[in-house]
Amino acid sequence: MKQSRRRNQKIQSVLSLLIALSLVIGPGLQLAQAEVLSGAAAVTLAREPQQTPDGLGSASFAGLQYADPAAQIDLVQPPVANNQGSADLSHPLSVPPGRAGLQPNLALTYNSGGGHSWVGHGWDLAVGAVTIDTRWGVPRYNDDKESETYVLDGEVLAPTAVRSELLDRQAERVFTRRIEGEFERIVRHGDGPGAYWWEVTDKSATHRYYGGTPETGRDASAILADDSGNEFVWALKQVRDVSDNTMNFSYVTATGEGVGAAQESLGCELYLSAIDYTGSVADGVTDDPAYRVDFVRASQLNEPHRTDIEINARGGFLRVTSDLLRQVNVTYRGTLARRYVLNYREGAFAKTLLDNVTQAGTDGVPFATHSFDYYDDVRTDGSTYAGFADSETWDTKDDNIGLAGFLDKIPEVNAAASALGGAESVGGDLRA
């Protein structure tokens, strides 16, 4: 009986505690349930309110990036005067980046005092070369003596052949720039005027090879020489960085066309034809360049040769530039990435001038064009330029000194003496 009574007391105590707790938390629980069913659920399930421009405020667009209408368009800066008094201008040609930053740096460059090239008068597209300095005359190509002075990318190298006695020919001779600033190691490989090629190493251990490579030695396809094999121009053949990534340059030697009144095919010129980059010569790596830049000339498009043909014989042979650069095609694995089309027009004195450069994308459709105007004081309306005056008869006058005697009776003799000086004589025998 006692145990049953104690159990009933415990049950009553628990029930009393539960009733007390329900009286304390019951109203709050009912209120929370009401909030969930009425307000909280509505906020959670409702659609996000639409934002309007008025709700953004005046400073909300500060970080917004607008679309750039000039994106992927190669902009050209205005001409700038240099310390020689001529104007310089550069039109960049964009190419995809190469591995480790090794890609060609291409640009159409203009100099108002420049001469002819395969890009018209005043313009050029060059990638670098070693040439012979012809300011002191035509090269002699002496077999035993250093009879030539060399120029690397426009800078004269030392030793020269004009400031001291001629040195003996030496294989693997090391040169420096006369005005040093790059501190590159310049080595001429080979032992004679018909066997040279060049290696230039900069401070980052990047090698540039002109007229050959370590694998091929002298490469005749990148050299312009005379009929005897004497070399005059060594074009840039390869660039190789410290990781053995490569950029290779290809050339073609073409015969000049339309020379003289007879329109003959004479002389030759070395033209850049292609650049392949993202290749490699590292051990165990396939040399498979992904990117290629092709340079298409007018003759390859079956277009007529230019009328202002450039002819010179400074190298001791006839060098004729009769072709024009018409297209630059950038491809990835054979697929077009970008194209530049160069158009020309005739300027004063029949000079070929670059008229415009058109850019096209992967579909070949043009999307931007840069056009160029030139000051023309020769053919402009109202111009006072007079290159040639009207023809006039030049009267040298007569000094009134007559030739007396029988000479006056000979019709073949002009008895009037020239004011410019001179002599007249008639021979013969007079017999009795």
Query: Could you count the other beta carbons within 10 Å of the beta carbon of residue 150?
Result: 22
* Domain contains 54: no
H or E element that contains 22: helix 2-35
Whether residue 188 contacts residue 157, with contact meaning beta carbons closer than 8 Å, is answered with: no
Q: Is 384 helix (H, G, I), strand (E, B) or coil?
A: coil
Lowest mean per-residue pLDDT among 173-177, 258-262, 321-325: 258-262
Least confident of 23-32, 213-222, 345-354: 23-32
Rounded CA separation 96/166 (Å): 47
The tens digit of pLDDT for each residue in 264-316 reads 999 999 999 999 999 999 988 888 899 999 999 999 999 999 999 999 999 99
Q: Is the pTM of this model over 0.85?
A: no
**Residue 169 maps to a domain:** yes
Closest CA to 249 of 226, 227, 216, 282: 216
- Residue 394 placed within a domain: no
Range among 54-58, 67-71, 81-85, 402-406 with highest mean pLDDT value: 81-85
Q: Report the percent of the chain where pLDDT is more than 70.
A: 78
End-to-end CA distance of the chain, in Å?
200
pLDDT in tens, 380-389: 777 777 777 7
For the cut 70, the answer to whether the pLDDT of residue 408 exceeds it is: no
Of residues 224 and 40, more confidence is placed in 224
More confident residue, 46 or 370: 370
CB burial of 279-305 (b: ≥16 within 10 Å; e: otherwise) equals bbeeeeeeeebebbbbbbbbbbeeeeb
Tokens at 386, concatenated: 């007079």
Average pLDDT over residues 353-358: 97
Overall average pLDDT of the 405-429 stretch: 56
Residue 350's region, left for phi above 0, alpha for psi from -120 to 50, else beta, is left
**Which candidate, 166, 165, 172, places its Cα nearest to that of 143?**
166
Q: Which domain holds residue 332?
A: 80-371
- Beta-bridged to residue 90, according to DSSP, are 109
Residue 393 within any structural domain of the chain: no
Residues 93-115 have a mean pLDDT of 94
Is 144 within a domain? yes
Within 10 A of 406 (CB to CB), how many other CB atoms are there? Answer: 10
Residue at 132 is within a domain: yes
Q: What pLDDT does 205 receive?
A: 95
Question: How do residues 26-65 score in pLDDT, each as one tens digit?
Answer: 555 554 454 444 444 555 556 667 767 666 666 555 666 7
Query: Quick one: what percent of the chain has pLDDT higher than 90?
Result: 59
Is 232 part of any domain? yes
Query: Looking at the 3D structure of the chain, how many domains does it have?
Result: 1
Is the pLDDT higher at 72 or at 317? 317
Per-residue pLDDT band at 250 (split at 50, 70, 90): very high
* The predicted structure's pLDDT at residue 36: 47
| Cβ–Cβ under 8 Å, residues 284 and 215 | no
* Least confident span in 117-126, 322-331, 381-390: 381-390
Query: Looking at the domain assignment, is residue 306 inside a domain?
Result: yes
Give the per-residue pLDDT at 37: 46
Rounded mean pLDDT of the chain?
Answer: 85
Q: How far is CA 313 from the centre of its chain?
A: 25
Task: Name beta bridge partners: 238.
Answer: 209, 248
Tokens 């310390």 — which residue?
Answer: 83
> Residue 109: which residues within 8 A CB-CB, separation 6 or more?
88, 89, 90, 91, 123, 124, 125, 126
Of 327, 284, 289, 320, nearest to 305 by C-alpha is 320
What does the pLDDT read at residue 34?
47
Pairwise CA distance, residues 264 & 330, whole Å: 34
Total Cβ atoms within 10 A of residue 237: 25
